[in-house]
Structure 1
Amino acid sequence: MPRPRRSRWVWFQPQVTYFKPVGIPLAQLEEITITYDELEALRLKHLEDLEQKEAAKKMKISQPTFHRTIEQACRKIADALVNGKAIKIEGGEVKMVPVPGFGRGPGRGWGAGRGRGRGFGRMGIPPTKCVCPNCGYEEAKVRGIPCRSKKCPKCGTPLMGA
């Protein structure tokens, strides 16, 4: 029996998780899946211009594992582009890096006493609505505007993503 895979640390949460060729109905498309760790490897190597050793250290994996991850991601993306397939971003054994101001805590440090670990929740999927933790008021999440920057119109408490 193989040992369990270690979680890879992901520092980026994509806002868009699906790409498809224009003009082809979704029902006629094949779909490939890129995991969050494969996307993170691509981002660190090609957008952040980190060496493989540095990027692997940031993701808390070995350099050979990083190399295999990025090769697999490149192969999948090339297949999708050349053969006209849709790309879906989801899954993988990942840990989202905590965002300051969210999570458990006594009022100091990372948690800052706000929330109950709902920062990104649900395996890195962005929130779809903003909710007041006190009175339960809900409103639709607007892309690009963090829920915590809005206040509840009923009680004035900062909203949280849900």
Structure 2
Amino acid sequence: MPRWGRGRRRKMRMIEFIPYARHFYPALPRFGPPKPPIIMTYEEFEALRLVDYEGLTQEEAGKRMGVSRGTIWRALTSARKKVAQMLVEGRELIILPQGNEVIKSDEE
């Protein structure tokens, strides 16, 4: 059976909350050439929300999202770096789906 890429297929991520605001930009324009926007995935946003906003442990967040603690750690580290980069460099931040998310409904 042919494979269409390298490595394993990405596991689906359970997302409980889609952000209402998905595009953030600095109030004041930058001087000099504009830098490209920073892209944050729903997975990174959800990890940041569960751990930093809701106060869950990485293991608890992993269970809620259906992924390992290591995956949460990587997503959280990436999300935190992107938020810091946005604040320090005054760059746009756009939150986008990656394609492997499953939106959890309240009935589940």
**What TM-score results when the alignment is normalised by the length of structure 2?**
0.85
- Aligned residue for 2:3? none
Unaligned runs of 5+ in 1: 101-109, 111-162
Matched, 1:97 2:101: no
Q: What SS does structure 1 have at the residue aligned with 2:94?
A: strand
RMSD: 1.7
Task: Give the alignment of 1:9-158 within 5 angstroms.
Answer: 9-24=14-29, 28-92=34-98, 93-100=100-107
**What TM-score results when the alignment is normalised by the length of structure 1?**
0.58
Bigger Rg over Cα: 1
Q: What SS does structure 2 have at the residue aligned with 1:41?
A: helix
Instruction: Considering Cα pairs closer than 8 Å and 6+ residues apart, tell me whether 1 or 2 has the greater RCO.
Output: 2
Please identify which structure carries the higher helix content. Answer: 2
Count of residues paired in the alignment: 100
Q: How far apart are residue 29 of structure 1 and its match?
A: 4.8
- Aligned residue for 1:2? 7
Identity %: 33
Unaligned runs of 5+ in 2: 1-5
After the TM superposition, list the runs of 4 or more consecutive aligned residues in structure 1 that deviate by more than 3 angstroms: none
